[in-house]
Amino acid sequence: MDAEPYHADPSLKGKLRRRLVRLQHRRPAGPRLGAPLVSFSFDDAPVSAFTTGARVLERHGARGTYFVCAGTAGQAGFVGQLGDRADILHAQANGHEVACHTYSHLDFGRADTAAATNDLDRNTATLEAWGVARPKTFAYPYGDVRPRAKRVLADRFTLARALHPGVIEGGVDLAQAPAVGVEGEDGEARALHWMDQAVRRKAWLILFTHGVEDEPTRYGCTTSVFERLVAEAVARDFEIVTVAEGARRMKVAA
Ligand SMILES: [Zn+2]
């Protein structure tokens, strides 16, 4: 995590690039699913995501996905105190997915391709040295990317997750997949709205948050909201899958 404001390049150039890159290097998902899927993911992965978040999911027999930056693990971030190596290994041992969020929380909308590639290599190497399996999926810090770096990611990961809201169904780009944030005061309502969409369209919804705690940061959600959303997913017969498992089900269309 860096000291910059927690958002993508706000310039006009940045906005235009974000529109154009979504049309390039696409990996369209295969046909729609028979039943809706939902994934619960945690970006940066604060300690509370590894403790409270995991506990809530495990109580329902479910597992989550932790998008981690090895370079910031164990540090204090503005999304909360981040989980360290032990937290990450503990999650993996309990069947959760440990996934890639760059090494240094690098903004792929601003970094050049060489810097982006080096950063990915470093995250993978560090995680592997820690005993973490090679990540299969990725989440873009700030949701942003340049076209050439997107192509690198599309070749390395089965799915790269962005931050624009939506559900995943046939034709949706798995190299820049939509996700819905459970953050802030309207996080729960937004998640429920998109769960409705996923049920109606027999689609896959990826939810993300950061910390799960009684007094969350503006990027996290409360324990009770998280509990209600997981219970709602179970009640509505969603299958709760890790992001890697969801990507496997939505095989890239030929
Ligand atoms: Zn992040």
> Is 11 contained in some domain?
no
Could you give the 3-state DSSP secondary structure of residue 159?
A: strand
The answer to whether 160 and 26 are in contact (CB under 8 A) is no
The vertex-247 CA angle with 70 and 49, nearest 5°, equals: 40
Res 253: pLDDT: 58
pTM of the model: 0.93
Per-residue pLDDT, 239 = 97
Over 80: is that where the pLDDT of 4 sits?
A: no
Centre of ligand 1 from the C-alpha of residue 173, in Å: 20
147 C-alpha to ligand 1 centroid (Å): 20
Nearest to 210 by CA among 23, 92, 52, 85: 52
Q: What pLDDT is stored for residue 22 in this prediction?
A: 87
The rounded Å distance from CA 34 to ligand 1 centre is 32
- Mean pLDDT on 224-236: 98
pLDDT of residue 138: 97
Which domain covers residue 103, as residue numbers? 30-249
Please tell me the distance between residue 44's alpha carbon and the centre of ligand 1 in angstroms: 5
Distance 129 CA to ligand 1 centre (A): 22
Band the pLDDT of 252: cuts 50, 70, 90. low
Residue 194 lies in a domain: yes
CATH number for the domain harbouring residue 119: 3.20.20.370
CB 164 within 8 A of CB 171: no
CA of 69 to the centre of ligand 1 (A): 8
Neighbouring C-beta atoms of residue 239, cutoff 10 Å: 18
Which segment of 16-30, 56-70, 169-183, 231-245 scores lowest on mean pLDDT?
A: 16-30
Ligand 1 centroid from CA 50, angstroms: 15
Instruction: Please state the separation of Cα 242 from the chain's center in Å.
Output: 10
pLDDT tens across 41-64, in order?
A: 999 999 999 999 999 999 999 999
Residue 66 lies in a domain: yes
In a domain, residue 71? The reply is yes
What domain count does the chain have?
A: 1
In a domain, 91, yes or no: yes
Q: What is the DSSP letter of 72?
A: G
Residues 169 and 29 sit within 8 Å (Cβ to Cβ): yes
Whether residue 155 lies inside any domain: the answer is yes
Burial class (CB in 10 A: 0-12, 13-18, 19+), 61: exposed
Q: How far is the CA of 254 from the centre of ligand 1 (A)?
A: 31
1 has a pLDDT exceeding 80: no
Domain for residue 102, yes or no? yes
Element (H, E) at 102: none
